Amino acid sequence: MRVIKLQEPRRNVPPSASNLMEAQLITPERLSDPMEDIVAGCKRRDRQAQRLLYERCHERLFRLIEHMVGRQEAPDLLQQVFLQTFLKIGQFSGHARFETWVYRLAINECLQFRRRRSRAHYDMPADEPIDPSRDHTERTQQQELMDRALGLLAPDLRAIFVLREVEGLSYREIAETLQTKEGTVGSRLNQARTRLRKHLVELGWKPES
């Protein structure tokens, strides 16, 4: 049986019975628990359930957050989003999919963050430094271009593009996440795609078409 072991050292946390419980192994069976059970556990503040929720969602949420606020700020925002998720999960009624609920929470946190930063003339991620740890093949250069072009899009258009193209949400799920009408998703995507392409070309992208 394959196990995932918690290897990260705990920081500033005194050892306690609950910590020892958390250090127990998480089995693959538990990782495939139905989402409703995990959410119900999180509502009871069960740390194991919280950990399972983290394992289920953190990669997708980090990808979304990175596209929304940039590479530098994404880790802090991810942590903030999970803390808010665990704090507010009692408000999740179960009428919508949990994924759209948590995406909405993440996008709202990102927009709030951007609003706070915009007061301090925060401009990102178009101005982010190029990641030196990446090898600059043609593919990574295109990725950098995409990052920068996305950063030039208005936050709402960026969110809708990422939810569709990166996260693969349907129009109904996007409407549910952004709390908008399903009928407007297509036209907003038209705008997002047209403007993104324009920004890419302005930044030096050479389209084949």
Partner 1 sequence: MNCESVREFMSAYFDQELTPDQEAAMREHLEDCPDCAQQLAEFAELSSLAAEMRPPQVPAGMWSSINASLNAQKHEGVPTDLPWRRLSRIALAATLLVAASTALIVYWNRQHADEHHEMVEVFGQYLDRFQQRPEDAQEVLLARYQGRLVAPQHAADEAKFNPNAPDQLPQGFVREGIYVLKMPCCTCTQTIYRDSHGNVLALFEHTEQQRSWFGDRPTITAQCHGKSTCLVQLRDELAACWKSGTRHLTIVGARGVEQVSELVAFLDVQQQSLQGARGARDGLSAIPPRSAAKGDRSRRRTQMDCGGRCTIHVRTGSTPQAVC
Give the binding site for partner 1 (CB under 8 A).
Answer: 6, 8-13, 16, 18-19, 22, 45, 47, 50-51, 54, 58-59, 62-63, 66, 71, 74-75, 78-79, 82-83, 86-87, 90, 139-140, 142-143, 146, 161, 164-166, 170-171, 186-187, 189-190, 193, 196-197, 200, 207-209
- Omega of the bond prior to 15 within 30 degrees of 0, cis? no
Residue 177 CB, shortest distance to partner 1, in Å, is 15
Residue 67 CB, shortest distance to partner 1, in Å, is 9
- The CA–CA distances, whole Å, from 136 to 25, 63, 139, 143, 152 equal 39, 20, 8, 10, 22
Residues in Cβ contact with 78 at an 8 Å cutoff, skipping those fewer than 6 apart: 58, 61, 62, 65
Residue 25 CB, shortest distance to partner 1, in Å, is 14
Residue 40 CB, shortest distance to partner 1, in Å, is 14
Q: Which of 101, 192 has the CB closer to partner 1?
A: 192
Q: Are 102 and 53 in contact (CB under 8 A)?
A: no
Q: Which of 179, 194 has the CB closer to partner 1?
A: 194
Question: CA 63, 67, 73, 79 torsion: positive or negative?
Answer: negative
Q: Which of 24, 140 has the CB closer to partner 1?
A: 140
Q: Which of 20, 120 has the CB closer to partner 1?
A: 20
Neighbours of 70 (CB within 10 A): 22
SS3 117: helix
